[in-house]
Structures are given as structure tokens and as C-alpha cells.
């Protein structure tokens, strides 16, 4: 259902980045002529615990270019805010209450109030955008600091050191997948986000602790993603990796 800033996405980012070695979520992929370091990110970190795990400093020092999901070095906050205002707004004559219905609207209002956000601030936004806003507010409520995320720290260093930065996708691509959801999927996404808010605090902290520890990763995906010409096993084989099937 696309990317969100929700607890579920953060958990996936963390679980997908647990270290296989060196007590850090950083891997080195070595080629004949260069090395690419692949690191699992936590987009927000608690202000009191913002030191990056081992491996990030070494990978950064050994690299001439920093590549992120979004190029924060070139992202204009005003442009990003303008994009959200334009694309998250409901069409004229459409209301959030009307889209949600009274029961769902009441649940969303209560969730927003608990985070200190009157529902009136969200009334003009599409359900997908309301879900993003609530998830971000929840992380801020838990003490996570947007200025202390992994990418934010690294891009500040890159700018100071004169290293180039790049992004794998644009803001429009990242959030456009949510905007493109059907109304039904947007409502389901919002329902899931509100449900997650009630149980997120302990789980986020637990996953964050795991991100910092020396553990192997057990990544589980749908079986159909593994097989066939475009499956993960074949793609890894083509890239020179060997996969051993366990009995």
C-alpha cells in the first residue's frame, strides 16, 4: 500500500537492516573496482540516543558519494511543504468527515487529540496524508528528532566535507504512491495507522534496540518473490552471490 511514515514502515526499515557483522547495520558490497556500502537507516532517532551504530563512520569515510532514498542535501523544505499542500488537499466540496464517516472520524479525532493536534488542522487533507501526519506526530511525541535521523546526520557531514549526494527517488515518487491509492485503500491505511499508534511505543523502542545490536537478520518475504527469472534468488545469483537452501 505504499510507503508511510508509520510505525510499521519504521519497523520494516529496522528489521531489514540488522547487522550481519561488526555490530552495525552496514554491509560492504565489493566489486572489482570499487566498494558500495549499504546501510539500514532509521529516519528519526531519539534526541538522547542519536549516536550512529558502528560501521557508519568507516563507510562514510571510505566513500566519496552519499546516496539516500531522498536527496536531503537538495530537498527544499518549502518546496516539500508546497507539494504536500497541493497534493494532500481534498477536492472542493469533499470533507474528511464525509470520507471517513462518523465512527471512523471520531476515532481519528481522538487519536489526533491525544497527540495534541486538533482534528480541524487535518480536516482538509486526504486520508493518506492524515495517516502520515499522525504517524509523524506519534514519533515526535515519543521523543524522536527529525534533525537526528541517520540521513540528516550524514548529509550534514557530506555538505561540510564537500561530498556529493544523490537520491534514489523524488519526493513526488515517494509520496505519490500514497496519493495514487484508491479511497478504500487510503481508509484502510488510515485505520491501520490509528491502530498502530496504540501499540507503537514499546515496539519501536524494541526494534531500535535491535538495530544497534550485533544480530543476524532473518528476512521473510512472500515465496513468489524468491522464484522465477525475476526472483530474488536469481537476481542474487546473477550478481555473483551464492544461496544455499537449508534442509
pLDDT value of position 18: 36
Query: 75-119 pLDDT, tens per residue?
Result: 888 888 889 889 999 999 999 999 999 999 999 999 999 999 999
> Is it the case that residue 224 has pLDDT exceeding 60?
no
* Separation CA 172–CA 187 (nearest Å): 21
Instruction: Copy the grid coordinates of residue 145.
Output: 528528532
Instruction: Compute the 3-state secondary structure of the chain and give helix, strand, coil in percent, each to the nearest 5.
Output: 50, 10, 40
The pLDDT value recorded for residue 1 is 41
b/e per residue 172-195 (b: at least 16 CB within 10 A): eeebeebbebeeeebbebbbbbbe
Q: So what's the pLDDT on residue 150?
A: 83
Q: How many alpha carbons lie under 13 Å from residue 205 in its C-beta half-sphere?
A: 8
Query: How many residues make up the chain in this entry?
Result: 247
Check the CA dihedral 227-232-234-235 and report its sign: positive
Extents of the domains making up the chain: 7-216, 223-247
**pLDDT confidence tier of residue 199, bands split at 50, 70 and 90:** low
CA distances to 29, 45, 163, 203 from 61, in Å: 16, 22, 10, 32
Cβ of 83: how many Cβ atoms within 10 Å?
17
Instruction: Give the mean pLDDT of 188-192.
Output: 93
Q: What is the pLDDT of residue 75?
A: 85
* Nearest in space to 105 (alpha carbons), one of 125, 85, 135, 82: 125
Backbone phi and psi for residue 98, each to the nearest 5 degrees, phi listed first: -65, -35
Closest CA to 53 of 39, 64, 43: 39
Q: What is the pLDDT of residue 239?
A: 77
Strands, E, within 69-174: which ranges?
Answer: 144-145, 164-167
Lowest mean pLDDT among 28-42, 128-142, 165-179, 210-224: 210-224
Write out the DSSP string of 114-132: HTT--GGGTTTB-HHHHHH
Q: Classify residue 26 as exposed, middle or buried by CB count within 10 Å of its CB (0-12, 13-18, 19+).
A: buried
> What mean pLDDT comes out for the span 62-86?
87
| Mean pLDDT (whole number) for 180-196 | 92
pLDDT single digits (tens) 15-48: 333 333 334 677 777 777 778 777 777 777 777 7
Q: What is the DSSP string of 165-177?
A: EEESS-HHHHHHH
Give the separation between CA 132 and CA 126, rounded to whole angstroms.
Answer: 10
For residue 158, pLDDT beyond 50: yes
Averaged pLDDT score across all residues of the chain = 77
Amino acid at each position: 500500500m505504499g510507503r508511510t511514515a508509520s510505525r510499521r514502515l519504521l519497523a520494516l526499515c529496522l528489521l531489514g537492516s540488522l547487522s550481519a557483522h561488526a555490530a552495525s547495520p552496514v554491509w560492504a558490497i565489493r566489486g572489482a573496482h570499487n566498494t558500495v556500502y549499504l546501510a539500514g537507516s532509521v529516519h528519526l532517532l531519539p534526541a538522547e540516543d542519536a549516536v550512529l551504530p558502528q560501521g557508519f563512520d568507516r563507510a562514510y569515510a571510505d566513500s566519496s558519494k552519499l546516496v539516500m532514498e531522498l536527496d536531503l542535501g537538495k530537498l527544499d523544505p518549502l518546496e516539500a511543504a508546497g507539494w504536500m499542500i497541493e497534493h494532500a488537499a481534498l477536492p472542493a466540496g469533499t470533507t474528511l468527515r464525509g470520507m471517513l464517516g462518523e465512527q471512523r472520524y471520531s476515532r481519528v479525532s481522538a487519536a489526533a487529540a491525544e497527540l495534541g493536534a486538533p482534528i480541524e488542522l487535518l480536516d482538509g487533507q486526504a486520508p493518506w496524508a492524515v495517516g502520515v501526519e499522525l504517524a509523524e506526530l506519534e514519533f515526535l511525541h515519543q521523543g524522536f528528532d527529525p534533525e537526528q535521523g541517520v540521513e540528516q546526520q550524514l548529509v550534514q557531514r557530506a555538505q561540510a566535507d564537500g561530498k556529493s549526494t544523490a537520491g534514489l527517488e523524488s519526493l513526488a515518487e515517494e509520496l505519490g504512491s500514497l496519493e495514487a491509492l484508491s479511497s478504500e485503500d487510503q481508509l484502510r491505511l488510515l485505520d491501520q495507522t490509528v491502530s498502530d499508534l496504540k501499540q507503537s511505543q514499546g515496539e519501536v523502542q524494541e526494534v531500535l534496540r535491535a538495530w544497534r545490536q550485533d544480530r543476524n537478520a532473518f528476512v521473510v518475504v512472500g515465496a513468489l518473490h524468491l522464484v522465477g527469472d525475476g526472483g530474488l534468488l536469481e537476481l542474487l545469483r546473477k550478481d555473483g552471490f551464492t544461496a544455499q537452501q537449508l534442509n
